[in-house]
């Protein structure tokens, strides 16, 4: 079990990271906010369910990621397609910037690679913590990030060519 | 392109939100059930009456919008005692030898699992027959109980469950919900594979309908089980009594096999054996064996003194701590009888021997371990094996002590046929159902 005070501390310290990861997954700011909110409500209600394996922060990120994935699936937003790539960088009305080429390439990555990137770059989690969130071994996180980098390098070069 | 460049691009893709702080107070209020679940578009504070009216009006809408996972959670109840009935794929088919009519005989497992003290009451049935029943506090939960008793509810509550796909179970549309997954290495190919535990949730009733394990998204062999019913009962509910006579807990058996002359078959079995003649379908009666089985049972030994005091202290602990405490007391499991007496398992005591007659029709080969010529039945060549016993041993594969109705044969998933004729329990092994049915119909009393 984890104490409520511990969950509150992590929420206050890392809210912006939770929100950023959630928005990256759902690609909508309000949905991201709702995902973080609902995830922490769940965590608070079921904090006795924390097994003690891994960090509390990792457990909370896992719940946020799952809540965001659930909302994203429910919204049924089609992923941007490569053939519609543009280089517009203006902000959309919901505050989530459209960045055509990169967004499409990231969306085209396998889900685990995409989540590993978000958790690494937006939440600054180390491999151990990302492993807890994704339910994999730390070594697998390294391999997953490496594959994501390689894919982005290759595809971005192709787009820019 | 460097990692730094990728980092810069990702920075541009999603805003940083460094200035956002969230609202912990709203999280707390929602968790306590004092706030609406969804965000209000404008932070309105309504008076109590208006809020109540809004809630009433909004409720049906939210009920429709509630996700499949929320409804799945609501469908299984809240108590700490799991009661579940599972149907595996280990049953078989009953064939009426007179009419040829076929009917399914299902293999079911019923469990009561108290998640607080770790007690499990399990009943294993084939059709209506109980093959094994026991109450225990297992050190390691079975995969099914871990999945349905702990992981399923926990994953739904914490949001770690997610829908992985759709399907049909017994004509009912379902969503396959992954409740646990991990990457495990496979030495066969040197790669990691995603192994997941999934529950099929009815899209109509939101109740769990099936359980399976997958590897890289594909269903694993022998992992599919139908969930015939699942509920979480209140504290103190559930059936945790079992008939000792039906329990295989603490039982074991010793078995020996030796050749014997055919003319001893009557005496060995204690009644008239059945056979297929000196030759059947071109296969000679190549071997006649006697199989002697002794069934043993651990004796229940009462414990007293300091061990009882320690056990009582463990009994007061709840949850996993209680189970760990009991297991630390002794190498043998300690049990508390309903009358409050503490017992443990003593030495195994073996019963009188039970003898079976085995008739092998087919070809014998050399035994590579002893160099005895023509002594080993060659089961990879055409053959029929007829095993007969006066008692239906609880240790028979698949069927245990199950006895099919007179005039019928039970075709089990392991490719064997089981029947009872004039008090003789017969097992027939041959290649394919037709071969088993033909041999069954050809059985005749062995002349004196």
User: DSSP per residue over A114-143, as a string?
Assistant: HHHHHHHHTS---HHHHHHHHTS-HHHHHH
pLDDT at residue number B293: 83
Report the pLDDT averaged over residues B163-169.
91
- Partnered with residue B335 across adjacent β-strands are B343
Burial (CB count within 10 angstroms: exposed 0-12, middle 13-18, buried 19+), residue A157 = exposed
What residues of chain B lie within 8 A of the CB of A122, using their CB? 10, 14
For residues B420 and B403, is the Cβ–Cβ distance under 8 A? yes
Identify which of B339, B240, B246 has the alpha carbon closest to the alpha carbon of residue B297: B246
Residues 6+ apart with CB under 8 A from B38: A34, B62
CA of A81 to nearest chain B CA: how many angstroms apart? Answer: 16
Say yes or no to pLDDT of B125 above 60: yes
Residue of B3, B4, B17, B324 to mutate, interface with A, max A Cβ within 10 Å: B17
The CA distance from B199 to the nearest CA of chain A, in Å, is: 16
Q: How far apart are CA B62 and CA B68, in angstroms?
A: 12
- Sort out which chain A residues have CB atoms less than 8 A from B3's CB and list them: 149
Q: What pTM was computed for the model?
A: 0.56
Query: Is A102 within 8 Å of B24 when comparing Cβ atoms?
Result: no
Q: What is the pLDDT of residues B375-394, one digit of tens each?
A: 778 888 899 999 999 888 77
- Contacting residues of A for B192, CB less than 8 Å apart: 136-137, 140
How close, in Å, is residue B182 to chain A by CA atoms? 5
Which residue, B141, B216, B160, is CA-closest to B184? B216
Res B428 pLDDT > 80 = yes
* Residue B30 pLDDT class (50, 70, 90 cuts): confident
Six-digit token string for B84 = 């579940």
- Hey, what's the torsion of the CAs at B20, B26, B28, B32, to 10 degrees? -160
- For B26, the closest of A18, A37, A89 (CB atoms) is A37
Q: Say what the pLDDT of residue A82 is.
A: 32
- Number of cross-chain residue pairs from A and B with Cβ atoms under 8 Å apart: 129
Task: Verify whether the Cβ–Cβ distance B154 to A46 is below 8 Å.
Answer: yes
* Residues of chain B contacting residue A56, judged by C-beta atoms under 8 Å apart: none
Q: Do the beta carbons of residue B244 and residue B338 sit within 8 Å?
A: no
pLDDT digits (tens, 9 = 90+) for B334-346: 666 656 777 777 7
pLDDT (average), residues B72-88: 91
B110-139 residues labelled b (16+ CB within 10 A) or e (exposed): bbbbbbebbbbbbbbbbbebbbbbbbbbbe
Which residue in B has a C-alpha nearest to residue A8's C-alpha? B24
DSSP-derived letter for residue B359 is E
CA distance A74 to A38: 15
Judged against a pLDDT cut of 60, whether residue B109 lies above it is answered with: yes
CA distance B193 to chain A (A): 10
Segment of B15-24, B27-36, B231-240, B283-292 carrying the highest mean pLDDT? B283-292
Would you give per-residue pLDDT tens digits along chain A (161 residues)? 678 888 999 999 999 999 999 999 988 888 899 899 988 988 887 777 676 667 888 889 988 998 888 777 766 544 433 322 333 333 333 333 345 567 778 888 888 899 999 999 999 998 888 888 887 888 888 888 988 888 888 777 655 44
Distance, C-alpha B26 to centroid of its chain: 44
Residue A38 and residue B37: Cβ atoms within 8 Å?
A: yes
**A95 interfacial to chain B (CB closer than 8 Å):** yes
Q: Is the pLDDT of residue B360 over 90?
A: yes
Q: Which residue of B has its CA nearest to A28?
A: B14
The number of beta carbons lying within 10 Å of the beta carbon of residue B316 is 9
Residue B158, chain A, CB below 8 Å: the answer is: yes
B74 touches chain A (CB under 8 A): no
Which among B17, B26, B30 has CB closest to A19? B17
Is B317 strand, coil or helix? coil
Look at B145-149, B229-233, B369-373 and tell me which has the smallest mean pLDDT. B369-373
Q: Would the pLDDT of B38 be above 80?
A: no
Q: Give the E-state strand segments of B239-383 in sequence order.
A: 251-259, 274-275, 279-280, 283-302, 334-336, 342-350, 354-361, 364-365, 376-377
Report DSSP state, residue A81: P
Residue B6 forms contact with A (CB below 8 Å): yes
Of A16, A74, A89, the CB nearest to B12: A89
Q: What is the pLDDT of residue B367?
A: 63
> What's the confidence (pLDDT) of residue A97?
39
Of A45-59, B156-170, B198-212, minimum mean pLDDT range = A45-59
A102/B14 CB distance under 8 A:
no
How does pLDDT run across B257-290, given as a tens digit for each residue? 889 999 999 999 998 999 999 999 999 999 999 9
Q: Which residues of B touch A80 (CB under 8 A)?
A: none
> Which 3 state secondary structure label does DSSP give B99?
coil
Please report how many Cα atoms fall inside a 13 Å half-sphere around the Cα of residue B205, on the Cβ side. 10
Check if B11 contacts A (Cβ < 8 Å).
yes
Consecutive H or E run containing B103: strand B102-105
Which candidate in B5, B13, B38, B162 is best for mutational testing of the A interface (most A CBs within 10 A)? B13
Residue indicated by tokens 């280990």:
B90
CA triplet B95, B355, B444: central angle to 5 degrees? Answer: 45
Q: Write out residues 119-158 of A within 8 Å (CB-CB) of B.
A: 121-122, 135-137, 140, 149, 152-153, 156-157
Instruction: Specify whether the CB–CB gap between B217 and B318 falls below 8 A.
Output: no
Which of B19, B21, B182 is closest, CB to CB, to A135? B182
CB-CB: which of B20, B31, B69 is closest to A16? B20
Q: How far is B438 from chain A (nearest CA, A)?
A: 53
Predicted local distance difference test score (pLDDT) of residue B176: 95
Decide: helix, strand or coil at residue B92: strand
């Amino acid at each position: 079990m984890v104490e409520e005070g511990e969950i509150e501390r992590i929420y206050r310290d890392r809210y912006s990271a939770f929100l950023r990861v959630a928005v990256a997954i759902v690609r909508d700011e309000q949905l991201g906010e709702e995902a973080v909110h609902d995830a922490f409500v769940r965590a608070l209600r079921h904090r006795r369910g924390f097994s003690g394996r891994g960090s509390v922060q990792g457990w909370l990120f896992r719940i946020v990621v799952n809540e965001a994935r659930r909302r994203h699936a429910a919204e049924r937003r089609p992923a941007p397609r490569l053939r519609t790539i543009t280089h517009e960088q203006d902000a959309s009305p919901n505050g989530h910037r459209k960045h055509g080429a990169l967004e499409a390439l990231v969306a085209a990555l396998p889900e685990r690679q995409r989540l590993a990137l978000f958790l690494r770059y937006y939440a600054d989690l180390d491999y151990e913590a990302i492993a807890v969130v994704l339910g994999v071994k730390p070594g697998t996180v390294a391999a997953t990030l490496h594959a994501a980098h390689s894919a982005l390098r290759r595809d971005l070069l192709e787009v820019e060519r | 392109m460097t990692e730094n460049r990728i980092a810069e691009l990702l920075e541009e893709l999603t805003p940083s939100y460094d200035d956002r702080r969230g609202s912990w107070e709203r999280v707390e209020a929602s968790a306590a059930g004092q706030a609406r679940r969804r965000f209000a578009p404008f932070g309105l504070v309504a008076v109590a009456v208006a809020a109540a009216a809004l809630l009433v009006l909004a409720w049906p809408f939210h009920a429709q919008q509630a996700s499949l996972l929320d409804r799945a959670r609501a469908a299984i109840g809240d108590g700490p005692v799991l009661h579940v009935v599972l149907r595996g794929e280990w049953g078989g088919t009953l064939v009426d030898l007179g009419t040829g009519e076929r009917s399914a005989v299902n293999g079911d497992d019923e469990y009561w699992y108290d998640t607080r003290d770790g007690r499990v009451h399990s009943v294993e049935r084939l059709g209506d027959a109980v093959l094994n029943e026991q109450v225990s506090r297992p050190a390691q939960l079975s995969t099914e109980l871990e999945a349905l008793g702990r992981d399923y509810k926990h994953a739904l509550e914490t949001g770690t469950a997610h829908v992985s796909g759709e399907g049909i179970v017994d004509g009912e549309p379902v969503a396959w919900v992954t409740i646990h997954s991990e990457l495990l290495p496979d030495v066969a190919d040197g790669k990691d594979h995603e192994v997941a535990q999934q529950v099929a949730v009815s899209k109509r009733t939101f109740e769990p309908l099936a359980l399976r394990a997958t590897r890289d998204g594909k269903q694993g062999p022998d992992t599919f089980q139908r969930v015939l019913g699942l509920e979480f009962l209140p504290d103190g509910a559930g059936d945790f009594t079992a008939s000792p006579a039906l329990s295989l807990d603490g039982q074991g058996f010793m078995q020996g096999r030796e050749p014997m002359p055919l003319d001893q078959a009557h005496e060995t079995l204690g009644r008239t054996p059945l056979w297929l003649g000196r030759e059947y379908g071109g296969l000679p009666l190549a071997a006649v064996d006697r199989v002697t089985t002794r069934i043993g049972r651990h004796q229940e030994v009462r414990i007293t003194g300091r061990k009882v005091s320690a056990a009582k202290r463990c009994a007061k602990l709840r949850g996993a701590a209680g189970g760990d405490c009991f297991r630390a007391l002794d190498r043998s499991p300690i049990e508390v009888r309903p009358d409050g007496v503490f017992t443990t398992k003593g030495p195994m005591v073996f019963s009188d021997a039970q003898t079976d007659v085995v008739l092998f029709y087919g070809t014998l080969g050399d035994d590579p371990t002893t160099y005895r010529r023509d002594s080993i039945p060659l089961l990879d060549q055409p053959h029929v094996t007829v095993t007969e016993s006066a008692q239906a041993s609880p240790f028979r594969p698949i069927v245990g002590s199950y006895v099919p109705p007179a005039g019928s044969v039970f075709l089990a998933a392991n490719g064997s046929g089981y029947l009872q004729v004039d008090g003789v329990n017969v097992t027939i092994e041959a290649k394919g159902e037709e071969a088993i049915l033909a041999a069954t119909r050809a059985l005749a009393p062995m002349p004196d």
